Amino acid sequence: MSFAFGFTSDDISDDEVDIDQRQPTKTENEASAILAAVELITPSFVDLSDILSSLRNIRITFDEYVTPGGITVYRRQVYDIKHQIMVEEDDVSSNAIHDILMGTSDELDLKKNVYEGGFKLWECSYDLVDAVLRYSESGEFNSLKCYLELGCGTSLPTCYLLSKLLSSSAESSIKKVIISDFNLEVLRLVSIPNIIISWAMTLSPEELSTVEDKNIPLNNDELILTPALLSKFQEQLEIKNIELLLVHGSWGAKFCDLLIPQQPDFILTSETIYSLESLPIVLEILLLLLENKPAYLALVAAKEYYFGVGGSIVEFMQKLLYKKPSSMAVDTIGNNLGQLKRDIVRMAPAK
Ligand SMILES: C[S@@+](CC[C@H](N)C(=O)[O-])C[C@H]1O[C@@H](n2cnc3c(N)ncnc32)[C@H](O)[C@@H]1O
């Protein structure tokens, strides 16, 4: 049987699934993708204040995009990032990333084991932004406490969710927001700037003018990360009692050791199951992080196929249906969006 989109796990009985993979044995489970993963960059937390200090007084230019669901999102322009790193050129530690940013657009897509695509905006992240809106309206993550975006890159879903949490007068149950990426430079140059732009766009022009430099004229698509603006952002996190945590490094056992104590129960990830290496490990991480939780929601947005690299929604769903606990319900909610078909896999407790 080939898998159809829009199904739920309840629609498929185990004996209908005639793909040529069997239930993994306990030994195979133990030698899971997580343990087998080669740790190219030791994962660790990064101090938000250090990142913000490195961005102080940087002038950023951003683009505006509208998601299929009609939500306006913002992203720092790539030429703007290039400009910043040219100014910082003497920082030898990040030369490999600097070379990628200054290289061809193919390199900006991916340089295996060095850089995994975080500077580029991948289209499934738009779908997660729309999903965040839908689920916030339906109250689906009302009781969840710790949000994680896995492989965040430009972090558009986090930008949208966090700016909603920070600008809302209502108290949110989410008190911890974690973003993670393979590359520290992606978090520093793209994820955090995007989060700040998105939050700043929720301020009124009067509020914004109190934290921008009145002597420097700005276009509508520009922002200066003045110390006052950065302080206001941190103050707003404190007022809302939201902790923003950053993790960089490779997925694997150590990554899970860092994340498990944080107890993430709302996990989003976009375009991270694009290869034969990344797909099983993303699946294992999600199953491990959600294990034994009474309430959770995880959304995995991806393309139907990644030509030439091996990952796909179909394969993810097949493996998930074999490995998931019976207490977990899975379905696809994206309805095959776009020409290069995209979908979202949803994981939640079975009702
Ligand atoms: C194709 S990009 C997608 C970025 C973003 N989620 C989006 O949709 O625009 C894949 C993301 O997964 C992360 N990633 C890939 N392989 C990884 C690994 N082995 N360990 C940690 N992060 C990884 C990359 O850093 C990158 O941000």
Each residue's pLDDT tens digit, 323-338: 999 999 999 998 666 6
Closest CA to 272 of 143, 152, 103: 152
Mutate to test the pocket of ligand 1, among 272, 276, 343 (most ligand atoms within 8 A of CB): 272
Look at ligand 1, atom 4, and give the residue with the nearest C-alpha: 153
In the three-class reduction of DSSP (H, G, I as helix; E, B as strand; rest coil), residue 337 is classed as: strand
Asked if residue 255 is part of any domain, the answer here is: yes
Pick from 168-177, 203-212, 301-310, 318-327: least confident: 301-310
- pLDDT, residue 258, reads 97
* Interval between CA 171 and ligand 1 midpoint (Å): 31
Asked if residue 126 is part of any domain, the answer here is: yes
Phi and psi angles of residue 222, each rounded to the nearest 5 degrees, phi first: -130, 155
Ligand 1 atom at minimum distance from 153 CA: 27
Beta bridge partners of 66: 72
* Interval between CA 334 and ligand 1 midpoint (Å): 20
Look at ligand 1, atom 11, and give the residue with the nearest C-alpha: 151
Q: How far apart are CA 191 and CA 246, in angstroms?
A: 10
Look at ligand 1, atom 13, and give the residue with the nearest C-alpha: 151
Q: What is the pLDDT of residues 48-70, one digit of tens each?
A: 999 999 999 999 999 999 999 99
Mutate to test the pocket of ligand 1, among 152, 154, 276, 309 (most ligand atoms within 8 A of CB): 152
Strands (E), the chain: 44-46, 59-66, 72-76, 146-150, 176-181, 222-224, 243-248, 266-270, 297-303, 328-332, 342-349
Compute CA 96 distance to the chain's CA centroid, rounded to the nearest angstrom.
23
Count CA atoms within 13 Å of residue 197 on its CB side.
28
- pLDDT, residue 338, reads 65
- pLDDT, residue 3, reads 23
Asked if residue 258 is part of any domain, the answer here is: yes
- Residues 196 and 222: beta-carbon distance below 8 Å: no
- Residues 177 and 243: beta-carbon distance below 8 Å: yes
Q: Please report, to the nearest 10 degrees, the dihedral formed by the alpha carbons of residues 73, 78, 84, 90 taken in order.
A: 140
* Interval between CA 322 and ligand 1 midpoint (Å): 24
Ligand 1 atom at minimum distance from 181 CA: 25
Residue 12: pLDDT above 60? no
3-state helix, strand, coil in the chain (%, to 5): 40, 20, 40
- pLDDT, residue 37, reads 79
* Interval between CA 18 and ligand 1 midpoint (Å): 31
Asked if residue 62 is part of any domain, the answer here is: yes
Q: How far apart are CA 261 and CA 250, in angstroms?
A: 18
In this prediction, residue 93 has a pLDDT band, given cuts at 50, 70 and 90, of: low
In sequence order, the 6+-apart residues with CB closer than 8 A to the CB of 206 are none
* Interval between CA 131 and ligand 1 midpoint (Å): 19
* Interval between CA 187 and ligand 1 midpoint (Å): 11
Residue 6: pLDDT above 50? no
* Interval between CA 326 and ligand 1 midpoint (Å): 29
Sheet holding 222-224, edge to edge: 72-76, 59-66, 222-224
Ligand 1 atom at minimum distance from 152 CA: 6
Asked if residue 2 is part of any domain, the answer here is: no
Asked if residue 3 is part of any domain, the answer here is: no
Number of domains in the chain: 1
Q: How far apart are CA 119 and CA 187, in angstroms?
A: 9
Ligand 1 atom at minimum distance from 37 CA: 19
Closest CA to 245 of 257, 256, 237: 237
* Interval between CA 194 and ligand 1 midpoint (Å): 16
CATH number of the domain encompassing residue 202: 3.40.50.150
Q: How far apart are CA 345 and CA 351, in angstroms?
A: 17
Percent of the chain with pLDDT over 90: 68
- Tell which wins on pLDDT, 217 or 322: 322
The token duo for 215 is 């002597």
Closest CA to 317 of 286, 292, 350, 296: 286
Helix residue spans in 139-264 (DSSP H): 156-167, 184-186, 192-200, 205-211, 227-239, 253-259
Asked if residue 74 is part of any domain, the answer here is: yes
In sequence order, the 6+-apart residues with CB closer than 8 A to the CB of 61 are 76, 77, 79, 80, 219, 221, 222
Residue 184: pLDDT above 70? yes
In the three-class reduction of DSSP (H, G, I as helix; E, B as strand; rest coil), residue 160 is classed as: helix
Residue 191's domain spans which residues?
9-349
Asked if residue 205 is part of any domain, the answer here is: yes
In this prediction, residue 91 has a pLDDT band, given cuts at 50, 70 and 90, of: low
The token duo for 46 is 């990064």
Count CA atoms within 13 Å of residue 195 on its CB side.
30
Phi and psi angles of residue 89, each rounded to the nearest 5 degrees, phi first: -50, -30
Look at ligand 1, atom 12, and give the residue with the nearest C-alpha: 151
- pLDDT, residue 204, reads 94
Mean pLDDT computed over 26-33: 55
- Residues 37 and 252: beta-carbon distance below 8 Å: yes
* Interval between CA 51 and ligand 1 midpoint (Å): 19
In this prediction, residue 94 has a pLDDT band, given cuts at 50, 70 and 90, of: low
Ligand 1 atom at minimum distance from 277 CA: 19
Ligand 1 atom at minimum distance from 117 CA: 2
- pLDDT, residue 19, reads 33
Q: Residues lining ligand 1, judged by CB closer than 6 Å?
A: 116-118, 121-122, 124-125, 151-154, 181-183, 186, 250-251, 270-272, 274, 278
Q: What is the pLDDT of residues 242-287, one digit of tens each?
A: 999 999 999 999 999 999 999 999 999 999 999 988 999 999 999 9
